[in-house]
Chain A
């Protein structure tokens, strides 16, 4: 029973391409997040959604567009991929906003060539 799942696990693509990463949680949580982990293991939040509504939008290039079709799904679409987008992207979810434990997915390893 995977609580937070992401697809694909690995993604290798050329610069300039457009790609999407999908995330699903079966925990019944209202809030979902996208984080980026760079090569130095630094984890930084990108976006959060609560009941399909955008809550947090950090300083992220507008080439990154999250979409939440329902509260169990939060997808990340990236346009015109750049070398610097290479990283591991983690989805997470929590019961709600505020002081709630966030549960992470297994990550999507993106390599832009």
Chain B
């Protein structure tokens, strides 16, 4: 959902560890999901996407898992590097009459310590 708190969820990891960032989405009609990375002072950058007819998709060092039963999305980053430090957003697209309308989650701050 569109919950906004005073503080974003945070995840701190050591360089080389694997990171898992979670996201709960609200619309069971959503059929497309995207993960974006936003570095300080920059715009969101596309990382990976997944359609609702899949439950897993892999990219370079990243994997997205989709569990439609519990409306949960996760982003796994392997061998996390300091350059991965950023705010990560999940977004959902309900399609249909909501063409192009991405609904963003609140974001998670990932900090990678060398």
A residues with a Cβ closer than 8 A to B are 4, 31, 33, 38, 40-45, 48, 50, 55-56, 90, 92, 94, 97-107
Selected interface stretch from B11-19, B42-50, B64-72: B42-50
Q: Which residues of A contact B31 (CB under 8 A)?
A: 99
Interchain CB contact (< 8 A) of A44 among B45, B104, B107:
B104
Q: Which of A42, A43, A48, A104 contacts B45 (CB 8 A)?
A: A104
- A31 and B46: CB pair below 8 A? no
Given contact pairs A90-B43, A101-B34, A107-B42, A43 touches B89 in the complex (Cβ within 8 A): yes
Where the two chains meet, the residues of B that have a C-beta atom closer than 8 Å to any C-beta of A are 2, 4-6, 8, 31-32, 34, 36, 38, 41-46, 49, 51, 87, 89, 93, 95, 98-104, 106-107
Tell me whether B100 and A42 are in contact (CB under 8 A): no
For B41, what are the chain A residues with a Cβ–Cβ distance below 8 Å? 107
Contact A98–B95 (Cβ < 8 Å)? yes
B95 contacts across to A, CB distance below 8 A: 98-99
Interface contact A41-B100, CB-CB below 8 Å: no
CA distance A97 to B98 in the complex (A): 9
Assembly CA distance A26 to B38 (angstroms): 21
A4 CB to closest chain B CB (Å) equals 8
Tell me which residues across on chain A come within 8 A of B46, comparing CB atoms. 101-103
With most chain B CB atoms within 10 A of its CB, the pick from A4, A38, A45 is A45
| Cβ distance B50 to chain A, nearest Cβ, rounded Å | 11
Return the chain B residue nearest A102 by Cβ.
Answer: B102
- Residues of A within 8 Å of B104, CB to CB, are 42-44
Chain A residues whose CB sits within 8 angstroms of the CB of B44 once the complex forms = 43, 90, 104
A-B pairs with lowest CB-CB distance, top 8: A104-B43, A97-B99, A43-B104, A99-B32, A104-B44, A42-B4, A41-B107, A106-B43
6 CB < 8 A contacts A-B = A41-B107, A42-B107, A43-B89, A56-B99, A102-B34, A107-B42
What is the minimal beta-carbon distance from B73 to any residue of chain A, in angstroms? 15
Q: Is the CB of B43 within 8 A of A56?
A: no
Answer whether A56 and B101 are a contact pair too, CB < 8 Å, given A42-B4, A99-B31, A99-B93: yes
